[in-house]
């Protein structure tokens, strides 16, 4: 059976991006849990989470969990920060194969479609970066930056919005790994 790792960014003593009312670590965990739920309910797949509650997990440990599990795909979920920023973007490692780029395209498109359905938003595009979890994981790895904690706070405060983004991640992962639907 195919295996995927869902990585909820930050946690515990590391809140990630923060605004007046929101903390990145809470939002990434919610999206990640919705992703896991939708995958488990609908597809034949083994899912592992790097965290399932508000605990600190080092970047090193996140990569180690993924490598030990021998996942087919690693997806790290984040919320962006920048006072004036808005929109969605995704990242893969700067020096990676064609397979990872294909997966990024599939996942990006799926999340983009969910965001368009929610209202207007800025598509910031498919990007590359030398991020630790992308570099240190042995399998195709994608990091999503799901809107911005300040300007996009209204969307991010909605539970149904977070669920839709989680479901979109699950659908994208299912397409990447060609998962069989549960009967």
Binding region for Zn ion (CB under 5 A): 9, 16, 78
Q: Least Å distance between CB 51 and Zn ion?
A: 13
89 SS3 class: strand
Q: Which is nearer to Zn ion, 40 or 136 (CB)?
A: 136
Answer whether 25's CB lies under 8 Å from 31's CB: no
Q: What is the closest distance, in whole angstroms, from the C-beta atom of residue 24 to Zn ion in the complex?
A: 5
Q: Are 166 and 37 in contact (CB under 8 A)?
A: yes
Look up residue 108 and give its two tokens: 């990006």
Q: 111, 88 in Cβ contact below 8 A?
A: yes
Residue nearest to Zn ion (CB): 78
Return the number of the residue (31 or 71) whose C-beta is nearest Zn ion.
Answer: 31
- Nearest residue to 73 (alpha-carbon basis) of 178, 177, 146: 177
Closest CB to Zn ion among residues 45, 165? 165
Distance, in Å, from the CA atom of 152 to the CA atom of 136, rounded to the nearest integer, reads 30
Q: Catalytic positions, please?
A: 145
Q: How far is the CB of 19 from Zn ion (least distance, A)?
A: 13
Closer residue to Zn ion in complex, CB, 43/161: 161
Cα 39 to the chain's mean position, in Å?
13
Contact between residue 145 and residue 17 where contact means Cβ atoms under 8 Å apart: no
Interacting residues of 6 by C-beta distance below 8 A, sequence separation 6+: 32, 35, 36, 47, 48, 49, 50, 75, 77, 169
Q: Please identify, using beta-carbon distances, which residue of 75 and 177 lies nearer to Zn ion.
A: 75
Minimum CB distance to Zn ion, residue 70 (Å): 25
Smallest gap, in angstroms, from Cβ of residue 2 to Zn ion?
A: 26
């Amino acid at each position: 059976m195919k295996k995927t790792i869902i990585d909820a960014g930050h946690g515990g003593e590391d809140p990630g991006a923060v605004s007046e009312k929101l903390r990145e670590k809470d939002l990434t965990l919610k999206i990640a849990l919705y992703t896991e739920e939708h995958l488990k309910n609908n597809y034949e797949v083994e899912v592992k989470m790097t965290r399932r509650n508000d605990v600190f997990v080092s970047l090193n440990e996140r990569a180690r969990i993924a490598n030990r599990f021998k996942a087919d795909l690693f997806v790290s979920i984040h919320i962006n920060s920048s006072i004036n920023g808005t929109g969605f973007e995704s990242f893969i490692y700067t020096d990676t194969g064609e397979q990872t780029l294909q997966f990024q395209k599939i996942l990006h498109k799926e999340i983009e479609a969910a965001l368009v359905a929610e209202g207007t938003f800025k598509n910031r595009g498919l990007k590359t970066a030398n991020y630790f979890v992308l570099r240190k994981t042995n399998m195709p790895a994608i990091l999503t930056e799901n809107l911005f904690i300040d300007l996009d706070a209204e969307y991010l405060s909605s539970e149904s919005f977070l669920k839709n983004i989680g479901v979109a991640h699950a659908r994208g992962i299912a397409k990447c790994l060609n998962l069989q639907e549960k009967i």
